[in-house]
Each structure stands twice: as structure tokens, then as C-alpha cells.
């Protein structure tokens, strides 16, 4: 049975039993403490813990998950993988143990003809918690008591690890037969190879207190008992497909087999090759799924994990002997294997593949640069007798060259060198802590967020009216700062019961405006959401005192909001124009807009041509001229997807989402920002820049409205000034400037030829002026105005004219307050103990600089041209002393 079919049967089974089918949430976790969705229950945590009311009494899903804590173990065994799918059914205070066990039994043992999975009932071995008699009795309706085993907290008890919900579990194990291990049920099978766990039913029924590890007090039963189950899709797939492990199922094996073909190896013939093939198969699939959910390679967070997966896969292929790019061959294979379950992978593959292939190309270049750096460092370490790469060096390889630490460890080990991994981890932790602290400080203004949480618990969510009005009559619920009262000139954070201010979100900066009360006034300089549901205003008090309980008017600056709306709507228009000119793969990957200005990052390879930029600007301004209607609609997330709305990858969304459309289907995006009412209100739109922001990603910048008009006016004025200056009609400027540039190039070429002739002449004169000092032909000189490169060429020319005799040439040139130094020696001079490196350092000391190089040629510089005569005299003395010695 194919994996996609198992998935379909699972969802259909529970849908028939009254469960709402919930689409898989993004792999990008909505929990800020997690990089990825790591378990099937993560999207349901607010409902399971009671933080939010559940929108349905029971639900089912097949959740995409990624775990990378043991990424180094992937491939070494057939158990470890980074991407997996967790089938789950959930009850939020509706049914409990008996029904959960019944539903699972009916699916697992139900006949294939009736929609079940058809597993043999006499090979099912349930386990329950030690004293969970209720679950034990429920299982006896289906399984003999001798096949139901009781286990302790390590195996059959669930909690978050902190005070809160907890409860016993019941695991479903399947007996694969004596060829996989000894008899005796799960308790007699420590490896779990024979009695394979396929499903875990969590009975969330208790409130636990604080405690260490598995030891904690049970405070009582929860008022509403929940069910959270998880069936490993990959495990069930390899059972039903008659293969030994997840690497051999239909969604993974095709990549493994194709990788083996490329490498010319046979899977199963060599352990080391097998490990690398499994790494490739797992990481290509995981990378595909992450990119499908909008993650792009980077040096931090999720982007770093994706980069690490892709680069480990590429590295494994190279170790298997495949030098050509591997992802263009392997990624389409994974797409074809996964798209029956996730059709978006096929429709969005152009974007996904562009990101992946660019990353492989970048890594192939990185391997050359990084390997050279690593080899140099390893050579130095070995020569110094300290065979350990420092944490700082490993961090530089990661941060500057994109080398994952495991790649550094592997490559260093191949050369017999260890790595200070602890030092590297410490530097990585420092970098992450700085980034997190910056993000927290931005949201909370450096204030302890617990104060905001207290206000939320006490007063409830902020009545946020940014879509409806620019003014509200409000009351101060709290002043959160150094003092409870803020006076003139002081900055503080203020929470109001109601506000019209837009809080920074979705790339749009916060509104500006004022708070006005009897006898006082404050300027609003920033607005954030430090905790979900609460809006906090950073204000600077201008007059009077601001304190808790004050009644005031909150007023948004009309011009600020109008310009911000123009910029945000302009961002949507530019995005739509990009997709029309470049194609649907030019998908937004991030944006920022403030009044009058916008920037938009999008997936694309290579710089845009002048014609593409012009076309994008034309399409955008045509939409503005047509005054297309702008409207916002609220709907469920599945409805929004069906409606054709684009979601910004990497963002998380609630069940109800806001769709902003411009011109109907011309532009439909999920967006919480503020917008104009018609596209004509955006005003003039001018692209001002286009640049790279990383591998496979570009950025366009634009100005709109009054700023757009001003930008175009400045360009018009510049053209007029150039026209007047060159005394040329405006339509002839390009031809005139082109002619001037051509003449300049000709003049520069003639000048270079003249300079070359002068250098040749100078070389002859300098060689003829050589003096014998200490048995060495010494040439010193100070030709004026030469660059370091020209001076080096002259010194080498002079040295060549002196033949095989012991000879040294030391030249210095001063220009614009700087000094260039070059020393060049013949081999015979070096045999007499002279070194160009030493001579240039002697000279550099007299001109306030330094230098160095090799024994035959060295260069340096300084900042005191007046010291050139002393520098050359010092060189002469050094040569004389060497000759005397």
C-alpha cells in the first residue's frame, strides 16, 4: 500500500467518525521556541492545554514534521531521519480512552476492502501505563490480556516536562515475526525491531506540578480530558510495503536508488556507501519539504538547518565520487515521490528547484574556498604541533564560508585533526542569544514581557481598531517603564484599552501619531505586540504627566497612515507585476514598507535586465492608472487557498485569515496590513534599485506617492542639468556621454602606453646606476607618482637587467601622502644571506609603515613620503652590513 494511500485512509477513517480534517500546518512552527513543527500535536497545543477554545470537538491531521537534533546520526542506522509524517486524531474534551482505542483498532485491523489497513489482529501488542486499569480494560475488548503489557513512566507516560497537563499513554506495537528478534512482547524486545511501535495514544487527564525528570506530583484531574495520538506514517508504510525500514518505502527509496546509480554503487554492498546514500535520500526529501514551506538557505535559524541538509547531501554525493551537480537529478525524483501527498510540490517546483540548485552551485564554490582555508589551517596546526582546530576557526568556516560544523569535523578528521567543538558551540550560542535579545528588545522595548502578560491576563486583549478608524477614546491600562508615571521628555511604553494604531507587523512599520489628554500630550514613536493579543505604544511625553487610568484620545497621523497604505499596497502591486513579468516562480520571500518606500525580496536567479525592470515598473503603474478596487476579506485558511490567495512563506496564520485583493484575482495575498481603497491612490511608483540578498534571492526597492513624484522630479532635474552642462538636447545625452567615455578610454590607453615607455626608460637608467656594495649590485631609487603595482613591475624589470649577479633592487615612490615600497633580489643575492622581506621592512620603518613578502620579492607601504631618503639609506646600510658579515 502506497504511503499516500495510507494517509488518505487514515484521514477518511476519522472523518467518518466525526473528526474535522485539519490540513497539515507549515513545517515552520508557530511556537517561537521551536524552529520547526516537531510533532503532530504542535498545531493543537493551544486547544489541548486550554489556552484557546478549540474550534471543533475532535480533529484529525497528517502533520509534516522535522527533527534535526540527531542529524549526525542520520544514515548511520535505518532508524534516524529528519523529515517524517505523523498521523493524529485529537479530542478536546469530547471522547476519551475507550473511543480512542476503538478508533485505532478499527483502522489498524480493519479490512483493506472496508478502508482499513489490514494488519493482523493477532500480532497487535498494546502497552499501557502501570496503573492505568481503564486503558487495560478497554484493550481487553480486542486483545487477550496476555498480549497487553504494563510499562513505566519512561515508556508510557506523557507530560510537557513542566507543570501543566500530563497523562498515561497506550502504545500499539506490531509483531514483525521471529526473524526480527526474540518473543516476549515489547517488554522482551529492547531494540524494538520485532515489536515495532506504530501508534501512541496519549490520555491527557491530569494536572501535574513541578518536579525533577519523571518525578513530579499529580495535583488532580483536568476538568476537560483530551486525546492526542500519533501514528508514524513512515513506520506503517514499511510494514504494509513489506520492506525493512523507512529508507525502502515508496517516498524515499527512489532517491536512494537514483543516487546509487549516479555513484555507480549498489545499496547494501558497502556500509560506508550505504550511510552516504541514506544521508542523501533523507536530506534531499527534507530539503524539498522545507523549501516547499518557504524556508530558504541562510546562516541562521531555519535557513541554516536547510543549508546544512542540502550541503550534507551534496557532500555525501561528492564522497561517493559524483563530481557533477547532484540536486538537478535527485530533487525531481523526490518531488515525484512526494507530490501524490503534497501536490503543491509539483506546482511550485520551479521556485523550489531554483533555490536548491543555486545553493548547490554556491556550495560547490564554497567547497573550493573553504577547503583551501581548512587545508591551510590544518597545515599550520600540524607544523605547530597543536593538532586541534580552534572554535573560532570553525566558527569562521561556518559564518563566512557556510561550512556546517559537521562538515568541518568530518574534513578535519580525514586529515587527523580534531576540532574544538565546544568553543564553536559557545560562539554559535552567543550569536543566537544576541539575535534573540535584539528581537525581544524590539517587541518589548527592553521591558520584561511578564508585565505585559499580567496586563493581558487582567484586562484581556487590546481592542484594536486600526482597520476602522484613526482616532479612539482610550484609557491607559498600564505605563510600563522605569516609573509608573512619565513626565516631559521621558520615553515609556503604554498599554491602552483601545487603539487605532497599527502595530509593526508583516513588513509594515508601525503608525506614528499622538496621545492627547487633559493637560498633556505624547508622541507615539513605535507600536509593537510584545505578547499575543496586546498592543504596546512607545511614547515620548511632550507635555504633562502620563499615568495609569488616564483618559485620552489616541490619534494616528493621517499623512503617515496614508503614505504607509500607499507603500503597502504598492508592495502587493510590485509583487503581482514581478510574477507577471518574470513568472510565478518570482515569489515574495519578505518585504518591508514605510511611508513612501517599499522593498521586496523574491526568489530569482541573476540580476534583472534593464528591460525587465522597465517592464515591471510599467505593469505596476498600469495597475495604478486603472484604479483597481482594493478590498479585504476574512475567511478560513483552506478557503483562502482555494480562493487563490498567496501566503507569505515562513509566516504563520490563524484559522481565520485576512485576504487583500487588488483588481480581483490580479493580486490576492494573505495580509494583515493597512491599504488604500483603490490602486490609483498609490500614486506614482518608481523602481529605485535591484540587488542580490543571497543565493537565489533578489531585492527590488521602490518609492510611491509623493516620494515617487519627488524621485522622478529629481531625475528630471538631473537630466536637465546634464543637458545644460554638456550643451546637448536631452534626447542626445546618451550618445554624447557615450562618445565622451569612448574618448576617455582612448586617452587612458594612450596614457598607459606612455607610462609603460617611461617605465622602460626608467628601468634602463636605474640599472645603469647600480652600485656595488658588499659584493652586491644595489639599485635604489624613488620614481615619483607610481602605484604599488607599477613600482613592482619596474623593480622586476630592473632586476632582470642585472643578470645572474648578486643584485638587490629597492624602490620607493611617494604620492598623495602615501609611500609604496618594493624590494626584488636575484637568487645570487639571496645566497649571500639577503632577503627582500628584510629589506622592505627596514625601509618601511623610516616611512612610518610596514611591509613583508618572500625572500625574492616583497612589498610595503608607509604614510611619510619625507622619510624616503632615510629609508633608502637604511637599505644601503643593511646591504653593506650583510656584505661585511
CA angle 550, 553, 554 (to 5 degrees): 110
> Residue 595's closest CA among 691, 529, 510?
510
568 has binding-site annotation: yes
> From CA 616, how far away is CA 593, in angstroms rounded?
18
For the chain, the first-to-last Cα distance in angstroms comes to 89
Name the phi and psi angles at 56, rounded to 5: -150, 150
Q: Is 476 in contact with 495 (CB distance < 8 Å)?
A: yes
Whole-number Cα distances in Å, 12 to 43, 54, 96, 116, 316? 20, 21, 20, 10, 39
Q: Which residues contact 264 (CB under 8 A, 6 or more apart)?
A: 321
Q: Which of 105, 24, 86, 127 is nearest to 232 (CA)?
A: 86
Q: Which three cell numbers stand for residue 265?
A: 554503487
Cβ-proximal residues to 598 (8 Å cutoff; 6+ apart), any chain: 567, 568, 570, 571, 574, 591, 592, 701, 702, 703, 704
> Three cell numbers at 547?
499615568
Cα distances (Å, whole numbers) of residue 465 to 401, 474, 555, 635: 47, 11, 12, 19
Diameter over CA atoms, the chain = 110
Q: Among all chains, which residue has been given the C-alpha cell 607618482? A: 785
Residue 715 contacts by C-beta under 8 Å, 6 or more apart in sequence? none
Report the distance separating Cα 602 and Cα 368, nearest Å: 28
- 551: phi > 0 → left, psi -120 to 50 → alpha, else beta; which? beta
Residue 250: which residues within 8 A CB-CB, separation 6 or more? 2, 3, 237, 241, 337
H or E segment to which residue 331 belongs: helix 327-338
Say whether 879 sits in a helix, a strand or coil.
helix
DSSP 608: P
The residues, any chain, with a CB within 8 Å of residue 823's CB and separated by 6 or more, are 795, 808, 809, 810, 836, 837, 839, 840, 843, 853, 857, 858, 859, 875
User: To 10 degrees, the CA torsion angle through 453, 455, 459, 460?
Assistant: -30
For 849-874, give one letter per residue: b (16+ CB within 10 A) or e.
bebebeebbbbbbbebbebbeebbeb
Give CA separation, 567 vs 551, 571, 738, in Å: 33, 6, 36
80 labeled part of a ligand binding site: no
Cell numbers given for 859? 612589498
User: What is the 8-class DSSP label of residue 25?
Assistant: P
Quick count: other Cβ atoms within 10 Å of Cβ 803? 11
Query: Residues annotated as binding site for Zn(2+)?
Result: 568, 572, 671, 675
Query: Residues annotated as binding site?
Result: 568, 572, 671, 675
Amino acid at each position: 500500500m502506497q504511503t499516500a494511500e495510507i494517509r488518505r485512509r487514515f484521514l477518511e477513517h476519522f472523518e467518518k467518525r466525526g473528526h474535522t480534517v485539519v490540513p497539515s500546518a507549515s513545517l515552520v512552527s508557530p511556537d517561537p521556541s521551536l524552529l520547526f513543527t516537531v510533532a503532530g500535536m504542535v498545531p493543537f497545543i493551544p486547544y489541548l492545554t486550554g489556552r484557546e477554545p478549540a474550534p471543533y470537538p475532535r480533529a484529525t491531521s497528517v502533520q509534516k514534521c522535522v527533527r534535526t537534533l540527531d542529524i549526525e546520526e542520520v544514515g548511520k542506522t535505518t532508524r534516524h531521519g529528519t523529515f517524517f509524517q505523523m498521523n493524529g486524531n485529537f479530542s478536546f474534551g469530547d471522547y476519551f480512552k475507550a473511543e480512542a482505542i476503538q478508533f485505532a483498532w478499527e483502522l489498524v485491523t480493519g479490512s483493506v476492502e472496508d478502508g482499513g489497513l489490514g494488519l493482523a489482529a493477532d500480532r497487535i501488542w498494546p502497552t499501557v501505563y502501570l496503573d492505568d486499569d481503564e486503558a487495560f480494560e478497554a484493550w481487553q475488548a480486542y486483545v487477550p490480556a496476555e498480549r497487553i503489557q504494563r510499562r513505566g513512566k519512561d515508556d508510557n507516560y506523557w507530560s510537557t516536562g513542566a507543570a501543566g497537563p500530563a497523562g498515561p499513554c497506550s502504545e500499539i506495537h506490531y509483531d514483525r515475526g521471529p526473524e526480527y528478534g526474540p518473543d516476549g512482547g515489547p517488554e522482551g524486545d529492547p531494540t524494538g525491531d520485532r515489536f515495532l511501535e506504530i501508534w501512541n495514544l496519549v490520555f491527557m487527564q491530569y494536572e501535574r506540578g513541578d518536579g525533577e525528570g519523571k518525578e513530579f506530583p499529580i495535583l488532580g484531574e483536568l476538568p476537560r480530558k483530551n486525546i492526542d495520538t500519533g501514528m508514524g506514517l513512515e513506520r506503517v508504510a514499511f510494514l504494509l510495503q513489506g520492506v525493512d525500514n523507512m529508507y525502502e518505502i515508496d517516498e524515499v527509496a527512489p532517491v536512494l536508488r537514483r543516487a546509487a546509480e549516479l555513484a555507480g554503487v549498489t545499496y547494501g554492498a558497502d556500509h560506508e556507501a550505504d550511510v552516504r546514500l541514506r544521508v542523501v535520500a533523507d536530506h534531499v526529501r527534507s530539503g524539498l519539504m522545507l523549501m516547499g514551506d518557504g524556508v530558504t538557505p541562510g546562516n541562521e535559524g531555519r535557513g541554516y538547518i536547510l543549508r546544512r541538509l542540502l550541503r550534507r547531501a551534496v557532500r555525501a554525493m561528492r564522497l561517493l565520487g559524483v563530481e557533477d551537480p547532484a540536486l538537478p537529478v535527485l530533487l525531481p525524483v523526490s518531488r515525484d515521490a512526494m507530490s501524490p501527498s503534497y501536490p503543491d510540490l509539483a506546482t511550485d517546483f520551479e521556485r523550489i528547484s531554483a533555490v536548491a540548485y543555486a545553493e548547490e552551485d554556491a556550495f560547490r564554490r564554497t567547497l573550493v574556498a573553504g577547503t583551501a582555508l581548512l587545508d591551510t589551517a590544518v597545515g599550520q596546526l600540524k607544523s605547530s604541533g597543536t593538532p586541534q582546530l580552534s572554535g573560532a576557526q570553525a566558527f569562521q568556516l561556518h559564518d563566512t564560508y557556510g561550512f556546517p560544523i559537521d562538515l568541518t569535523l568530518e574534513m578535519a578528521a580525514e586529515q587527523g585533526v580534531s576540532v574544538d567543538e565546544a568553543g564553536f558551540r559557545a560562539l554559535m550560542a552567543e550569536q543566537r542569544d544576541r539575535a534573540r535579545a535584539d528581537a525581544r528588545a524590539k517587541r518589548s522595548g527592553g521591558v520584561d514581557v511578564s508585565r505585559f502578560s499580567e496586563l493581558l491576563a487582567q484586562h484581556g486583549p487590546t481592542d484594536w481598531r486600526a482597520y476602522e478608524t484613526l482616532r479612539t477614546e482610550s484609557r491607559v491600562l498600564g505605563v510600563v517603564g522605569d516609573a509608573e508615571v512619565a513626565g516631559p521628555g521621558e520615553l515609556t511604553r503604554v498599554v491602552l484599552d483601545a487603539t487605532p494604531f497599527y502595530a509593526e507587523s508583516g513588513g509594515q512599520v508601525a503608525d506614528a501619531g499622538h496621545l492627547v489628554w487633559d493637560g498633556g500630550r505624547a508622541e507615539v514613536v513605535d507600536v509593537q505586540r510584545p505578547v499575543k493579543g496586546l498592543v504596546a505604544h512607545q511614547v515620548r511625553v511632550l507635555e504633562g504627566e502620563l499615568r495609569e487610568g488616564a483618559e485620552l484620545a489616541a490619534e494616528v497621523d493621517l499623512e503617515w497612515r496614508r503614505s504607509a497604505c500607499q507603500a503597502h499596497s504598492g508592495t502587493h502591486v510590485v509583487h503581482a507585476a514581478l510574477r507577471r513579468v518574470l513568472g510565478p516562480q518570482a515569489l515574495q520571500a519578505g518585504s518591508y514598507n514605510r511611508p513612501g518606500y517599499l522593498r521586496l525580496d523574491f526568489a530569482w536567479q541573476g540580476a534583472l535586465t534593464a528591460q525587465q525592470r522597465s517592464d515591471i515598473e510599467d505593469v505596476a503603474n498600469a495597475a495604478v492608472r486603472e484604479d483597481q478596487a482594493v478590498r479585504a476579506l476574512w475567511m478560513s485558511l483552506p478557503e483562502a487557498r482555494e480562493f487563490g490567495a498567496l501566503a507569505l512563506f515562513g509566516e504563520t496564520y490563524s484559522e481565520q485569515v485576512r485576504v487583500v485583493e487588488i483588481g480581483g484575482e490580479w493580486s490576492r495575498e494573505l495580509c494583515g496590513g493597512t491599504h488604500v481603497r483603490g490602486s490609483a491612490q498609490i500614486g506614482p511608483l518608481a523602481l529605485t534599485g535591484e540587488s542580490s540578498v543571497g543565493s537565489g534571492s533578489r531585492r527590488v526597492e521602490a518609492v510611491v506617492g509623493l516620494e515617487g513624484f519627488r524621485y522622478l522630479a529629481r531625475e528630471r532635474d538631473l537630466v536637465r542639468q546634464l543637458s545644460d552642462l554638456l550643451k546637448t538636447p536631452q534626447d542626445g545625452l546618451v550618445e554624447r556621454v557615450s562618445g565622451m567615455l569612448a574618448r576617455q578610454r582612448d586617452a587612458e590607453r594612450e596614457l598607459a602606453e606612455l607610462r609603460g615607455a617611461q617605465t622602460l626608460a626608467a628601468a634602463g637608467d636605474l640599472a645603469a646606476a647600480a652600485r656595488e656594495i658588499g659584493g652586491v649590485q644595489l639599485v635604489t631609487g624613488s620614481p615619483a607618482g607610481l602605484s604599488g603595482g607599477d613600482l613592482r613591475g619596474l623593480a622586476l624589470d630592473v632586476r632582470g637587467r642585472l643578470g645572474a649577479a648578486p643584485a638587490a633592487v629597492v624602490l620607493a615612490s611617494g604620492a598623495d601622502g602615501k609611500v609604496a615600497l618594493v624590494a626584488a633580489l636575484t637568487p645570487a643575492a639571496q645566497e649571500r644571506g639577503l632577503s627582500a622581506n628584510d629589506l622592505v621592512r627596514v625601509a618601511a620603518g623610516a616611512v612610518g609603515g610596514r611591509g613583508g613578502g618572500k625572500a625574492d620579492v616583497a612589498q610595503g607601504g608607509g604614510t611619510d613620503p619625507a622619510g624616503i631618503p632615510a629609508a633608502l639609506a637604511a637599505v644601503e646600510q643593511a646591504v653593506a652590513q650583510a656584505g661585511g658579515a
